[in-house]
Amino acid sequence: MIPIIPVSQLQRRGAQAPGGRLATLPPLTLYVHYPWCLRKCPYCDFNSHQHPAGIEDIPETRYLDALRADLEQSLPLVWGRKVHAVFIGGGTPSLLSAAGLDRLLSDIRALLPLEADAEITLEANPGTFETGKFAAYRASGVNRLSVGIQSFHAGHLAALGRVHDDNEAHRALAIAQRHFDNFNLDLMYALPGQTLAEAQADIDTAIAYAPPHLSLYHLTLEPNTVFAKFPPVLPDEDDAASMQDMISAQTGAAGYQHYEVSAYAQAGRQSRHNLNYWRFGDYLGIGAGAHGKLSFPDRIIRQVRFKQPSSYLDAAASGRFIQEESQVSAADLPFEFMLNTLRLAEGFPLHMFVERTGLSLASIEAQLRQAEQRGLIERDHERIRPSALGQRFLNDLQALFLPA
């Protein structure tokens, strides 16, 4: 952890960036975290919490006050930079009242210069869908919805601990289609006891709704979750691989581009906020447990807000929001850059590495040559991208860029 230094001092110091000075700053997006859920799912390792007194007692006004103060305190770090996208995630931010969401977006617009066509995404879970509230969300400026379906199979939803059933999943998508022309549908596969036929039924059902974007995640047992402590029986590696092959075939036939490890989109409908992550762009994160990455001409920093909602609110009362702040070292920059950009099927243009790290390509030539010799990347005079083998063994490819 390093002390938080006023921007005026950062500018006066004139220290060198981890890899040299950045000539231009990358695009900037905003992430807003809403930490509460109706119920914590047993597979979830996100910063989500059940309010001990129930959702009726979630301190919405106090939390919105804290978010505004958090954003106001962060403004000196992003002066003069336009925001290209806003992502409101959680938790379950669709628990926000219509008035609360309207206030949040009004505060953001008052404090930050949003691009005229900024993508504003709200995560929503089917158990919280109300037609009137979602119409109000759209009227307030939300122009993209991300719906956490996970499965259309009642038994699998129960095994995942979801609060909605299959009927509510279909109802939620009908409401999403009614009010939003741009929405994402989240599904998971390789679920406890799931067969290939059941996985295909989920994918076929999802595609039938024609969502502009699909996020399709392989269920993994993350540390510090209920599933990690009490592991369910999951499909074996061969069955999971068959599901992945089926997903590629079904989405490809339906016209979706597999542009990132778990992301599929119709033409021009990629998630702008997530693309900015994967292209090593900057993002300001506010709210309990939110992470941020911000570039300056002479440094790149990462920030983490206080995680527990009560701790975040208590800290906000004293004007403190950031629990940890650190500077990314030159040794870590190649790995951090590749950890993100190599998730993309398109890889990255050569100039992007130089522009967003301040390093030269010569500094990673040995690793690139090794990756090329192992058939993990393809490159030419303009771009580096993971090969089909590199996409399959992505962890091995990214690990080549770990600091020695």
The DSSP line for 228-264 is HHSPPP---HHHHHHHHHHHHHHHHHTT-EEEETTEE
pLDDT of 337-381, one tens digit each?
999 999 999 999 999 999 999 999 999 999 999 999 999 999 999
The burial class, CB within 10 Å (0-12 / 13-18 / 19+), for 54 is exposed
- Cα–Cα separations (whole angstroms), residue 67 to 101, 125, 161: 12, 22, 29
- Cα–Cα separations (whole angstroms), residue 339 to 123, 261, 316, 327, 332: 24, 12, 32, 17, 11
**What dihedral do alpha carbons 394, 397, 402, 404 form, nearest 10°?**
150
Is pLDDT above 80 for 20?
Answer: no
pLDDT band at 235 (very low <50, low <70, confident <90, very high): very high
pLDDT of 79-92, one tens digit each?
999 999 999 999 99
Q: How many CB atoms lie within 10 A of CB 53?
A: 9
Q: CATH top-level class for 7-276?
A: alpha beta
CA–CA gap between residue 189 and residue 270 (Å, rounded)? 21
Query: What confidence score (pLDDT) does residue 404 get?
Result: 84
Strand partners for 150? 187
Taking the model in full, what pTM does it have?
0.92
* Pairing state between β 322-327 and 299-305: antiparallel
Query: What confidence score (pLDDT) does residue 22 get?
Result: 87
Query: What confidence score (pLDDT) does residue 8 get?
Result: 33
**333-341 and 350-357 helices cross at what angle (nearest 10)?**
130
Tokens of 321: 């929001």
Query: What confidence score (pLDDT) does residue 55 get?
Result: 75
Query: What confidence score (pLDDT) does residue 54 get?
Result: 72
* Residue extents of the structural domains in the chain: 7-276, 331-404
Coil, strand or helix at 65 = helix
Report the mean per-residue pLDDT for the chain: 92
Mean pLDDT of 56-60: 89
Query: What confidence score (pLDDT) does residue 39 get?
Result: 87
Provide CATH code, domain 331-404.
Answer: 1.10.10.10
Residue 177 is which amino acid? Answer: Q
